[in-house]
Structure 1
Amino acid sequence: MNSTASIESSQKKSNRPLVLASIMLAMFLSAIEATIVSTAMPSIVAALGGFSLYSWVFSAYLLTNASTVLIFGKLSDLFGRKPIFLIGISLFLVGSLLCGFATSMTTLIIYRFLQGIGAGALMPIASTIVGDIYTKEERAQIQGYLSSVWGISAVTGPALGGFFVDVLNWRYVFWMNLPLGILAIIGVVFFFHENVEKKRHSIDFPGSALLMVGIASLMFLLVEGGVGIEWNSPLAIGLLSIFILCSIGFYLQEKRAPDPMMPFSIWGYRSITIANITSLTTGMILIGVSSYLPAFVQGVMGKSATVAGFTLTTMSIGWPISSMIAGRLLLKIGFRATSMIGGGALVIGGIFFFLLTPDKGPLWAAAGSFFIGVGMGMSTTSFIVSIQSTVDWKTRGIATASNMFMRNIGSAIGAAVLGGVLNSVVHTTIQNKNMGGNISLQTVNQLLDADERASLSSSTQSALQEALTIGLHQVYVGLLGLAILSFLFIFFLPKGKKT
């Protein structure tokens, strides 16, 4: 049976509304992980200890998620979306169950590795299933619904995390995934049907191994670089060398593999190449706003964590709203024009942050965050629908996963580069002000806590706020540059409604 017939059969047999609800539920579990776990982390550290490993609770999830997303995307093209999706969500739920039973920070991190592996299948395959069971015209609107999951998770995550910690126990932050995940499994098992062509597949094991080792090395370096690993240390050089060697080996392997893990032919489509490159830069923008806007609002403006959270929430509001609007625009003005509107919104948001000063207030920061959300919603929806309309069933999984992979890598690179810029500028400013040996880069942490901030002298507090303002301004200069670069990349998308 050919791919077109398979899709048509899937459309006829599958209960599309229930399948959509099931995969949105699965995506919600993956999306909410960051916000709900962040809220519970102080209680987790208090119970398990191991504060020095704090960041690895997040890094472990991010590392394995990014390392497996392409592999799961390709496997879904070989064996069908359903079995690979079920394997992914099962691993995610087993990891969640074990996380709740963790007795130390080390075991929690190990279980988070497992949880991240499963999460690598959830996002790309969920989006790919939508591409399979809906027509091109329907996909545009449905992708908007999928994007709304991010907004809902960003708003509900902190509230749910606080509820579980205050009323029940931090372990329920992980265990809440179980009933919701089981519902998603039931929905996919009973209501999603696909006819996959039965044939013997040659799995590219060498390519998979090289990909996982290479990406894991890069992610480990980007996550720990400048924090746990000095950039010029032998370990950093070794990790970078492993990544380069694995990348070369992966390229050579994919050229000769009969069924390559990454068919480079998909990069021959200009729409896919531009969408993926742009997703790299927008991923850097996304992490720049998410990571450093709260620092400006709390450390420089002196506002509460609640106010800082509000300035980020506006991005989560702008994203799903613009995604739904993009779904309608795609059918009227095409992928390129819709993407350019998104690129323009990113530039406007970048300008807001470039002009951000302490006296502008949190509403100014929230406005910039909102425009970034609008830009992300418009562009990502356009990219996914464009990519899925460009390729056939046999490569739709890996093509969709490649776009999400590039955004993940962009976020990791952005965290390393922008974090390095901030630390360097703040450190230099403190040195130039000759603030004394007891004031260092670590002292800036006290600005982010109201009680700690009150213990600083007014002169020290003022000088630290100035140093943080200068450092964050350089970060926002970088964000504006990335926004402009993203807009320029979008300009090169193919014209017209067709890709």
Structure 2
Amino acid sequence: MASKPSERDPLLPRRVSGDEDGHDSETGKKTVKKGPLGPLEIPRSTRYGILAGIWTATFLSKLWFQRRHDDQHPLVLPSISSEFNKSNQASWLGTSYLLATCTFTPLYGRLCNVLGRKGANRAALFFAGLGVLLCGLSTNLETLIFARFLAGIGGGGLTTTSSIIVSDMYSLRKRGLTQGVQSVFQGLGLGLGGPLGGLVTDWLGWRWAFLIQMPLFCFSYILTSINLNYVTELLNPEQGKGKSAKEILKRIDYGGSASMMMAVGSCLLFLSAKYNEGLPWSDPFVIVSATLSALFAVVFIVVEIFVAPEPVLAPTLLKLRIPALVGVSCFLVETCSFSIMYFLPMWFQTVVLTNASTAGLHLMPNSLSMSVGSLFAGWIMHVTGRYKTINLIFGMFPFIAACFIYQLQPDSGFWVSWFSIVPLGFGNAVVLQTMINNQMPVGIGLGQLFRGVGQVGGVAISSAIFQSKLEAELQKRITGPDSQAIRQNARYVATLPPDIRALAQESYKVSLKSVFFFAAVMALVAYIVRLPELTNTPQIPDKHLDSRPRADKGQQPDKNSDSDSQDTQTQSPSETAKVVEPSNGRSSPTM
């Protein structure tokens, strides 16, 4: 039985502040709290259960993330297009996924505040699992493309909610290493998607490449349902369940999401019609798609500024130096990365004349280096508590890699051919890890928005550059119907007579180098944008990443340490969230 309070007891109980392992930050003793636990107060076993659940889903979301055509996925997509006899539409299997990811990923930063972390993660998991299931059950290509779109709605959300959940459970200094481990699962998904999909397709058929993932989706759902029950200070103890469904639905930016999807989709149609299909500017389809893209872009801006109660692209964020810098950097980094990843295998298939499987395997070093780079960045931030220096040093690596790739020749040796791409993955991983690691939920959503636009833009712009250049080069060297067939089918090059094949190889070589040059320029611009010396003022504040400065008894905090009152970036996500959500229901983020 508890003893009666005495006159020496405080009138109000002292609030216990704990760390990620549930220890009191002042006494160092294990704390036990009654009632709902916050993200820093949950037991370590619960935290590991949450991580296992969200990382399993993250791995699955990346398995089919960057697949555009049979040059990238040499075994699965040809089987699909052959069954449906519509290989000319197979590229939409990848494009639909990217379009959905770009459009809906930013919503999950808001949904984490509206539905709670668990609700938002469940929504993402539902759409991803449903999309994958429908892919395996599709009876025509149109249904399959729609299923890929559904999978994209959830796939991008799984990445965003995973980052936000990790940000909740770990302090700024510790979360870098944890998110580095998360990036390993993403890299494994990116790197193993092609080989695993090909093996399953050869063994059981292409449908099972999708259906075999369903048990893992169920495993992720069970783990998160059991363990993901912490509360944040932004939400009520029921993680938003007290709000009615009508109130929750009102807070979603439908107009912004729809107008952005139409703007990006119309832009993709325009680029495909003008440069992939070679239609003239006077063609009605080209005119209409370009006009719609510009029109919906204007509608999106108007909706975000004047209409949406909680906009996908919060205008107030763009007025702040750090969020704007993060967004621009993410866009340029992803544009460079996807331009190279989508066209490097084509170099080996059309210029070097390797088989499609070997050409696709040249992306494996990039996936592995991304995982290593994320772990390295997380470890450095964990040990030193700083992140600006490694961003400046290793942020130059993508430009170096793009220059190496631009210098590739058909007779380049083994090491150059296989490992020129390694600095790209390593450098981009370090940059993205250090740029997004210290953002609040809405800031993470903003970064994911610009990453999605950069991914779509990288594919679309580089495709336009490549196709227009290839058409011009082929017309200079080859006449007759072979020219069009060579441009539309990269595999056709290896079957040509030796004299025509040499001309086609040279045309592809020149065209692909123009794409690699574009990627190098994007990487250099991304680095310049982040360069502090550009304006003689630090654009990326180099701060100690401890969530709070701690002091032993009898000691004062270090005067050089950053305090919570100086910059909201040093606060925990739940504390920052209180600044994000004003009482009037419209966001006014402060970072």
Assess same fold via TM > 0.5. yes
1:378 aligned to which of 430, 443, 450: 430
1:9 to 2:49 alignment = no
Partner amino acid, structure 2, of 1:164: V
1:302 to 2:353 alignment = yes
Cα contact 1:49–1:104 (8 A) shared by 2: no
Report Cα offsets for 1:100-124 as digits up to 9, x if no partner.
2111111222222222222232110
Kindly indicate whether structure 1 or structure 2 has the higher relative contact order, using CA contacts under 8 Å at least 6 residues apart: 1
1:321 to 2:372 alignment = yes
Q: CA deviation at 1:327?
A: 0.9
Q: CA deviation at 1:368?
A: 2.2
Counting only pairs closer than 5 Å after superposition, residues 345-360 of structure 1 correspond to structure 2 as 345-360=397-412
**After the TM superposition, which of the residue ranges 44-53 and 457-466 deviates more from structure 2?**
44-53
Any unmatched runs of 5+ in structure 2? 1-14, 19-34, 237-241, 533-538, 545-568, 570-591
Match of 1:67 in 2: 103
1:250 aligned to which of 289, 296, 303: 303
Match of 1:95 in 2: 131
How many angstroms apart in 2 are the aligned matches of 1:454 and 1:268? 52
Give the SS at the match of 2:192. Answer: helix
Report Cα offsets for 1:156-210 as digits up to 9, x if no partner.
2222212221221221122122110111111111112222523759658597222
Cα contact 1:24–1:146 (8 A) shared by 2: yes
Q: CA deviation at 1:307?
A: 3.1
Partner amino acid, structure 2, of 1:273: A
% of aligned pairs identical? 22
After superposition, the Cα gap between the structure-2 partners of 1:36 and 1:153, relative to the gap in structure 1 and judged at 3 Å, is farther
Q: CA deviation at 1:83?
A: 0.8
Match of 2:188 in 1: 152
1:483 to 2:523 alignment = yes
Match of 1:461 in 2: 501
Match of 2:442 in 1: 398
Report Cα offsets for 1:335-370 as digits up to 9, x if no partner.
221212231111211220222222224531332210
Q: CA deviation at 1:19?
A: 0.9
1:214 aligned to which of 259, 269, 277: 259
Partner amino acid, structure 2, of 1:28: F
1:241 aligned to which of 288, 294, 301: 294
Counting only pairs closer than 5 Å after superposition, residues 138-217 of structure 1 correspond to structure 2 as 138-196=174-232, 197-198=235-236, 205=250, 208-217=253-262
How many angstroms apart in 2 are the aligned matches of 1:429 and 1:259? 49
Partner amino acid, structure 2, of 1:455: T
Give the SS at the match of 2:272. Answer: coil
Cα contact 2:372–2:426 (8 A) shared by 1: yes
Cα contact 1:226–1:420 (8 A) shared by 2: yes
Counting only pairs closer than 5 Å after superposition, residues 430-449 of structure 1 correspond to structure 2 as 430-433=474-477, 435-444=478-487, 448-449=490-491
1:58 to 2:94 alignment = yes
Report Cα offsets for 1:387-420 as digits up to 9, x if no partner.
2xxxxxxxx3221122122111112112122111
1:280 to 2:331 alignment = yes
Cα contact 2:486–2:493 (8 A) shared by 1: no
Cα contact 2:349–2:355 (8 A) shared by 1: yes
Cα contact 2:266–2:290 (8 A) shared by 1: no
Any unmatched runs of 5+ in structure 1? 388-395
Give the SS at the match of 1:360. Answer: coil
Cα contact 1:67–1:215 (8 A) shared by 2: yes
Partner amino acid, structure 2, of 1:376: N
After superposition, the Cα gap between the structure-2 partners of 1:7 and 1:329, relative to the gap in structure 1 and judged at 3 Å, is farther
Q: CA deviation at 1:333?
A: 6.7
Partner amino acid, structure 2, of 1:438: P
How many angstroms apart in 2 are the aligned matches of 1:310 and 1:116? 24
Report Cα offsets for 1:224-283 as digits up to 9, x if no partner.
3332465842321332133223223223336xx554444333334423221210110111
Match of 1:473 in 2: 513
Partner amino acid, structure 2, of 1:475: V
1:408 to 2:452 alignment = yes
How many angstroms apart in 2 are the aligned matches of 1:382 and 1:316? 18
Report Cα offsets for 1:8-28 as digits up to 9, x if no partner.
722323511111111110101
Partner amino acid, structure 2, of 1:153: G
1:426 aligned to which of 457, 461, 470: 470
Cα contact 2:173–2:385 (8 A) shared by 1: no
Q: Provide runs of 4+ in structure 1 moved above 6 Å.
A: 4-8
How many angstroms apart in 2 are the aligned matches of 1:307 and 1:36? 16
Give the SS at the match of 2:39. Answer: helix
How many angstroms apart in 2 are the aligned matches of 1:351 and 1:43? 35
Match of 1:390 in 2: none
Partner amino acid, structure 1, of 2:42: K
Bigger Rg, structure 1 or 2: 2
Partner amino acid, structure 2, of 1:496: D
Partner amino acid, structure 1, of 2:58: M
Cα contact 1:207–1:253 (8 A) shared by 2: no
Report Cα offsets for 1:1-45 as digits up to 9, x if no partner.
x9x999972232351111111111010111002368934222222
After superposition, the Cα gap between the structure-2 partners of 1:336 and 1:120, relative to the gap in structure 1 and judged at 3 Å, is same
After superposition, the Cα gap between the structure-2 partners of 1:441 and 1:480, relative to the gap in structure 1 and judged at 3 Å, is farther
Match of 2:147 in 1: 111
Cα contact 2:177–2:381 (8 A) shared by 1: no
Partner amino acid, structure 2, of 1:31: K
2:172 aligned to which of 128, 136, 150: 136
Cα contact 1:213–1:243 (8 A) shared by 2: no
Cα contact 1:342–1:375 (8 A) shared by 2: yes
* Normalised TM-score (structure 1): 0.89
Match of 2:572 in 1: none
After superposition, the Cα gap between the structure-2 partners of 1:311 and 1:96, relative to the gap in structure 1 and judged at 3 Å, is closer
Report Cα offsets for 1:136-167 as digits up to 9, x if no partner.
11101011111112321133222221222122
Give the SS at the match of 1:183. Answer: helix
How many angstroms apart in 1 are the aligned matches of 2:132 and 2:361? 28
Match of 2:63 in 1: 32
How many angstroms apart in 1 are the aligned matches of 2:408 and 2:348? 10
* Normalised TM-score (structure 2): 0.76
Cα contact 1:311–1:362 (8 A) shared by 2: no
